[in-house]
């Protein structure tokens, strides 16, 4: 398996099933840890030749031309583009016949814009997403050492991730949709048994979902160095404004498999969100940008976020979202304060209450 980070994901698969078998050859000392952090079944395809290094070469020269910013992932030595490309392969496998061509187009736009972080998962399209990603990288002739590829596994175990890293299959590992308590438990297990702890958490973060990334993860960063890689900056398309007048037939919310999204949009809370988005649209207009660009730039203004993963369905959307880099310098404290006033959902930490 050729990855830079392996993120374990609690919600990719249910907890039922025979996935928690113990390894009789493993030291007894980790049996207690295994009860919580279950075995990871790693089934992956090679993304190309790779030699483990202490650090990787980045496309920062391209970034200087496009304005792309690079940030450290937590307190690790890994630098990633502040915008990454997310679940396009998973989405397009079901929505587009010409999945390879579309995926190649989007990946090329992202790469030429300075993006070096590409996120996928082993379960996306039953493994085909990883294959397509690897084939595109091979076809384009991109240096593997210039890319950061993240994939997601399940049935997680700290010792297994340590083995994967020590074998040169991965450089770091992180978590996805874990609670702060679970991350701390993994860190404690790693320290207790001299294993490698996680370096990042993938968490949902957008205008309407803030507490975990703004309150819980900063505390973990300062305590154990875990960084934040966020996804769904547009809340599954809600923040684009396209649901202001109902559910368009061509939208994701119109699909049977996304009934939960439709229910969310037409609910009372959903209508309140649309009203707030209308007000935020005026701020975007003043800044000379679109609402999606404002939303992505708002995520990036949080210095605790290492990278924001973009999930787009066409080249126009990706180009628009990448334009958020140009909006970032306009996110002054005054603008952020105006946004907070409209949203009315700014979370407060214990420190805020004490002060």
pLDDT for 133 equals 92
Give me the count of residues in the chain.
Answer: 355
β-pairing, 79-81 vs 70-72, is antiparallel
**Kind and range of the H or E run holding 130:** helix 128-140
Catalytic residue check, 163: no
Q: What is the DSSP string of 252-286?
A: GGGSGGGHHHHHHHHSHHHHHHHHHHHHHHHHHHH
Q: Check which CATH number belongs to the domain holding 96 and give it.
A: 3.20.20.100
Total count of domains within the chain: 1
For residue 230, the tally of other CB atoms under 10 A from its CB is 26
The one catalytic residue in 124, 154, 187, 205 is 124
306 CB contacts (<8 Å, ≥6 apart)?
A: 71, 72, 73, 74, 80, 82, 200, 227, 228, 229
CA 168 to chain CA mean position, Å: 23
Tell me the pTM.
Answer: 0.79
Q: How far apart are CA 134 and CA 162, in angstroms?
A: 24
Q: How far apart are CA 68 and CA 59, in angstroms?
A: 10
pLDDT for 126 equals 77
Torsion (CA) 209, 233, 308, 348 in degrees, nearest 10: -20
Identify the domain containing residue 46 by its residue range. Answer: 5-354
pLDDT for 129 equals 87
Q: Are 114 and 66 in contact (CB under 8 A)?
A: yes
Long-range contacts of 284-288 (CB under 8 A, 24+ apart): 287/327, 287/330, 287/335
Q: Among 236, 287, 290, 230, which residue's Cα sits nearest to residue 265?
A: 236
pLDDT for 13 equals 39
Q: Among 233, 226, 184, 245, which residue's Cα sits nearest to residue 209?
A: 233
Rounded to 5°, angle at Cα 267 from 265 and 272: 80
Each residue of 38-62: b (16+ CB within 10 Å) or e?
bbbebebeebeebeeeeebebbeeb
H helix intervals, 98-127: 99-112
Q: Is 135 left (phi over 0), alpha (psi -120 to 50) or beta?
A: alpha
3-class state of residue 345 by DSSP:
coil
DSSP letter (8 states) at residue 197: P
Q: How far apart are CA 309 and CA 234, in angstroms?
A: 10
3-class state of residue 144 by DSSP:
helix
For tokens 């990454």, name the residue.
84
Q: Are 175 and 202 in contact (CB under 8 A)?
A: yes
Spell out the per-residue pLDDT of the chain, length 355, in tens. 333 465 555 544 333 333 333 333 343 333 333 333 322 222 222 333 333 333 334 455 566 677 899 999 999 989 999 999 987 655 665 666 678 888 899 999 999 999 999 999 888 887 888 899 999 999 999 999 999 999 887 665 899 999 999 999 999 999 999 999 999 999 999 999 999 999 999 999 999 999 999 999 999 999 999 999 999 999 999 999 999 888 988 888 888 888 999 999 999 999 999 999 999 999 999 999 999 999 999 999 999 999 999 998 889 999 999 999 999 999 999 999 999 999 999 998 766 544 4
């Amino acid at each position: 398996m050729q990855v830079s980070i392996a993120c374990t994901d609690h919600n990719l698969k249910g907890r039922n099933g025979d996935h928690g078998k113990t390894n009789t050859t493993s030291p007894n000392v980790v049996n207690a840890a295994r009860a919580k952090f279950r075995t990871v079944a790693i089934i992956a395809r090679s993304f190309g030749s790779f030699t483990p290094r202490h650090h990787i070469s980045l496309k920062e020269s391209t970034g200087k031309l496009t304005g792309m910013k690079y940030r450290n992932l937590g307190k690790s030595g890994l630098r990633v583009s502040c915008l990454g490309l997310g679940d396009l392969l998973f989405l397009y496998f079901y929505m587009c016949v010409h999945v390879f061509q579309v995926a190649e187009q989007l990946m090329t736009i992202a790469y030429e814009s300075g993006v070096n972080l590409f996120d996928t998962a082993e379960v996306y399209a039953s493994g085909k997403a990883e294959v397509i990603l690897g084939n595109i990288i091979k076809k384009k002739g991109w240096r593997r050492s210039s890319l950061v590829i993240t994939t997601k596994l399940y049935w997680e175990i700290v010792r297994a991730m340590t083995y994967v890293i020590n074998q040169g299959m991965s450089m770091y590992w992180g978590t996805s949709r874990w609670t702060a308590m679970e991350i701390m438990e993994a860190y404690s297990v790693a320290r207790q048994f001299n294993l490698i702890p996680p370096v990042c958490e993938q968490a949902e973060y957008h205008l309407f979902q803030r507490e975990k990334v703004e309150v819980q993860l900063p505390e973990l960063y300062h305590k154990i160095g875990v960084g934040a890689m966020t996804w769904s900056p547009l809340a599954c398309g809600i923040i684009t404004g396209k649901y202001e007048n109902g559910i368009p037939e061509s939208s994701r919310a119109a699909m049977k498999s996304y009934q939960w999204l439709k229910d969310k949009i037409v609910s009372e809370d959903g209508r309140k969100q649309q009203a707030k988005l209308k007000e935020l649209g005026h701020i975007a207009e003043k800044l000379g940008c679109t609402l999606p660009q404002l939303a992505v730039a708002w995520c990036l203004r949080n210095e605790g976020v290492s990278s924001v993963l973009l999930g787009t369905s066409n080249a126009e959307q990706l180009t628009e979202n990448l334009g958020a880099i140009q909006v970032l310098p306009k996110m002054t404290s005054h603008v952020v304060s105006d946004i907070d006033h409209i949203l009315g959902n700014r979370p407060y930490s214990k420190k805020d209450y004490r002060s």
